Chain A
Amino acid sequence: MNREHWQQINQIFHEAQGYKSSERKAFLEKACAGDEELLREVHKLLASHEKAGDFLESPAMAVAAKAIASRKDVSSAKPEPKRVFITITQGPRKGKIFVLLEQKIVVFGRANDCFEIMPEDDPTVGRHHFALEVNPPTVGVRDLGSLNGTYVNGHRIGGRRGEEDPRQPKRRANKLILLHEGDVIKAGDTMFRISLEAPVLCTGCGESVNLYTAGAKNNSVRQKVFCEDCWEQLRRESKEFVRSVEAMASVRSICTVCDKEVATEAGPWKLGEFICERCRSKMVKNKNLLQKLLNTTSSSGRPDWKCALKDYDIRKHLGTGRLGPVYLARGKKDRRQVAVKVIFSSTVQDPGTVAQYNSMLEDIRGMRHPNLLEPVDYGSAGGAFYCVTEYCDSGNISHLLAKRRGKLGLHEALPIMEQALAGLAFIHQEGLFHGNLKPGNILLAGADGSWNVRIADFGLPGIFRELGLGGLIASEDPAALAYTPPELLTGAGIAGPLTDVWSIAAIFYHMLTGCIPHERKREVDPFASLIEPVIVPSAERTPDIVPEVANLLDDFLKLNQHQRPQNAGEMLERLRKIQVRVVRLTLAR
């Protein structure tokens, strides 16, 4: 097509649009004056114009982003999820396999709300016999005070001691036992075999290999695994390929810190950075060692960030959370105080995982709200991840409760509740949830009495879970689970805004009454009282509580998810409705 011809088409196209469709045909025939090709071109264009609709109207950036989002396996850069397999090897349901992909606590026993309901006719199995705390690829088992105990590889854990009356429920909470590949658990007549699976990379191309596809298991040379494609090539082709494979195969896994070979710990086929368990535990206590690691290997994930973590002085160990140690640090340039959270991964950190971590944190960093802890920087170092946030100097709700001898007055609690709900409502509004709310995660800044509330730890546990980095088993102490709604403890529910609603309400309940909402009988195993809770109405705990507030708390803490407010926004609305009245009442008192 030449330009003149095109101009002609343009001219006629625009003029034709001025005509009604009934008159258009006549006009076109006249305008094209017998030029069949011209007529055809204009027709084609007019028809296309009608069909085009909003073609190209949304910008290319949005088109590309939508294309990425609509792909089911967006995760091409994302590591394979880690899984825990539980196979029943003995008992009536022999052969059944459970695959657990995400962090969960699952209870086994004869009761109806168990994850796996065990045979009714086996008298040696308890109603809630044992719980598995799963966080792929880590898994632990805890006996729930069963009469006959649970056996791990033939060793009895839990159960009653000789002097304990078998008719009485058990009083101690049992320890969590970490499980390993191939461990066997026995409860009553049923046996379970645990297998842990971490993704394995092809030595040829570095792509992850699914060990469970047929044949893949055989594609191994001297403990190196290959994907189907590489294996075919290897067999068919040259010695050269075999040599390059051998060269790659000789890559050893070395701990970034102590330079020792850690193949057994890290797994023999994995490429990437890793810190061995010994160094990890050493570094939690030794800040100099950590500082050295951060100075030499840290790289910020922020694309616009010029100073890496070496520009911070690690000053003080503030504490160790579920994810890892937290330190107080100060910027060498701006002298700003920040909190540095270091998260040690118990699996090898390959570049894909690092990239994914960075991209997810970048996503979170965009979420700013006055009641969320402000993220400053994030990135990775050696075999660890880190996350820098603002530092709140006034502690958290736990500390405040300790200072106030257990509980807060309404005048102090109300503003804290309001701010915490505002922050959480923002998270829910964005379509996300927190998932790990507890008094220690509600931080306080500012002066005594006029607190600024900041919700911490938002998103990190979820990200860690999604990346399958492991090592995040729930705390040994059952009290730490008191803010997790029971449906999550039995494995019957999934985490979401509804579970956040319960958690934050349990924190408020604790703030106002001085104890957790669960009824706690002395003779009942503390863990069992959490999974089969009886919620004590707040007015029974503190008779002088303002009735409006008591009603509010009791409504928020409904065991049935659907009877709770659907998100923090709704909670905030309800709190604000009663606030004015309550403030007046407290002043009058």
Chain B
Amino acid sequence: MLAGNRQDVTQLLVAWNEGDQDALNRLTQMVYQDLHRLAHHYMRSERPGHLLQTTALVNETYLRLIDWKNVQWKNRSHFVGTCAQLMRRILVDFARSHGYLKRGGGSRKVPLEEAAGVMHQRDPDLVAIDEALKSLAEIDPRKGQIVELRFFGGLSVEETAEALGISPRTVMREWSIAQAWLHDQLTGAN
């Protein structure tokens, strides 16, 4: 399933980190490909039991970028952080350029049953999260980092803890408050 060669991805990341614009373009393309493939899978995953496969797919996408065991970086957290930043940038740009990922951009007919629970089910708006996350990072950089790694980077609690050199318990503590704060920012305001 993996479209890209891990070595390639790693080299591209290094290049991007050094300011190579072409590398960013290529990485963006790769992420888009994955994104669309994933979307295809969601579209046809109406049957139960499919969810697992899709979750595995999401992980696969990240794994491709996060093969950090074999890379010479200043430190692991720097590398993982770079990946998460990249994903954040690409996905937010994508959401911005496709109005429909934004709240209110593009309407969608919702069946009545679904409408009743719509506030629960609604998926978050990436552009708004990006903005809110910037404010969070200003007052509390570490929480900002945790959200970036977990939400945009797709890391588990344990992986986040390892990358930041703190305990999983601390990650959970910080995550719960950051999550509450962001939720309040995104739903409370309107």
* A44-B184, A52-B180 known; A61-B37 Cβ under 8 A: no
- Please name all residues of chain B whose beta carbon is closer than 8 Å to the beta carbon of A69 when the two chains form the complex: 39-40, 42-43
In-complex Cβ contact of B33 among A44, A60, A63, A362 (8 A): A362
* A1-B139, A303-B29 known; A68-B106 Cβ under 8 A: no
Judge whether B66 is part of the interface by a CB distance below 8 angstroms.
no
Judge whether A70 is part of the interface by a CB distance below 8 angstroms.
yes
* A1-B139, A10-B177, A60-B87 known; A65-B108 Cβ under 8 A: no
Closest-CB distance, A76 to chain B (whole angstroms): 8
- Please name all residues of chain A whose beta carbon is closer than 8 Å to the beta carbon of B106 when the two chains form the complex: 71
Contact A63 B123 (CB under 8 A): yes
Contact A62 B126 (CB under 8 A): no
Contact A65 B39 (CB under 8 A): yes
- Please name all residues of chain A whose beta carbon is closer than 8 Å to the beta carbon of B52 when the two chains form the complex: none
- Please name all residues of chain B whose beta carbon is closer than 8 Å to the beta carbon of A62 when the two chains form the complex: 38, 54, 58
Judge whether B44 is part of the interface by a CB distance below 8 angstroms.
yes
Closest-CB distance, A544 to chain B (whole angstroms): 42
| A39-73, CB < 8 A from B | 44-49, 51-53, 55-56, 58-72
Write the A1-44 contact mask toward B (1 if CB under 8 angstroms, else 0): 11100100010011000000000000000000000000000001
When chains A and B are docked, how far (Å) is the Cα of A362 from the Cα of B30? 12
Closest-CB distance, A434 to chain B (whole angstroms): 15
Closest-CB distance, A138 to chain B (whole angstroms): 27
| A421-471, CB < 8 A from B | 430-432
In-complex Cβ contact of B39 among A60, A74, A430 (8 A): A74
Contact A60 B88 (CB under 8 A): yes
Closest-CB distance, B143 to chain A (whole angstroms): 9
Closest-CB distance, B175 to chain A (whole angstroms): 9
* A71-B108, A303-B4 known; A55-B61 Cβ under 8 A: no
For residue B54, which residue of chain A has the nearest CB? A62
Judge whether A366 is part of the interface by a CB distance below 8 angstroms.
yes
Closest-CB distance, B92 to chain A (whole angstroms): 8
For residue B178, which residue of chain A has the nearest CB? A56
In-complex Cβ contact of B154 among A53, A55, A61 (8 A): A61
Write the B95-128 contact mask toward A (1 if CB under 8 angstroms, else 0): 1001011000010110000000000100110100
Closest-CB distance, A154 to chain B (whole angstroms): 47
For residue A6, which residue of chain B has the nearest CB? B139
- Please name all residues of chain B whose beta carbon is closer than 8 Å to the beta carbon of A431 when the two chains form the complex: 44-47, 50
Judge whether A302 is part of the interface by a CB distance below 8 angstroms.
yes
* A65-B38, A67-B123, A71-B106 known; A55-B182 Cβ under 8 A: yes
When chains A and B are docked, how far (Å) is the Cα of A2 from the Cα of B61? 38
* A61-B34, A67-B100, A71-B108 known; A53-B120 Cβ under 8 A: yes
- Please name all residues of chain B whose beta carbon is closer than 8 Å to the beta carbon of A49 when the two chains form the complex: 176-177, 179-180, 183
Most buried by B among A14, A62, A360: A62
Contact B95 A64 (CB under 8 A): yes
In-complex Cβ contact of A48 among B35, B38, B87, B183 (8 A): B183
Contact B87 A61 (CB under 8 A): yes
- Please name all residues of chain A whose beta carbon is closer than 8 Å to the beta carbon of B139 when the two chains form the complex: 1-3, 6
Write the B151-182 contact mask toward A (1 if CB under 8 angstroms, else 0): 11110000000000000000001001101111
Closest-CB distance, B63 to chain A (whole angstroms): 12
When chains A and B are docked, how far (Å) is the Cα of A53 from the Cα of B120? 8
Judge whether B19 is part of the interface by a CB distance below 8 angstroms.
no
When chains A and B are docked, how far (Å) is the Cα of A74 from the Cα of B177? 35
For residue B152, which residue of chain A has the nearest CB? A60
When chains A and B are docked, how far (Å) is the Cα of A48 from the Cα of B61? 31
When chains A and B are docked, how far (Å) is the Cα of A52 from the Cα of B176? 9
Contact A61 B176 (CB under 8 A): no
Q: List 7 A-B contacts (CB under 8 A).
A: A60-B126, A66-B39, A68-B101, A69-B40, A72-B109, A303-B29, A363-B36
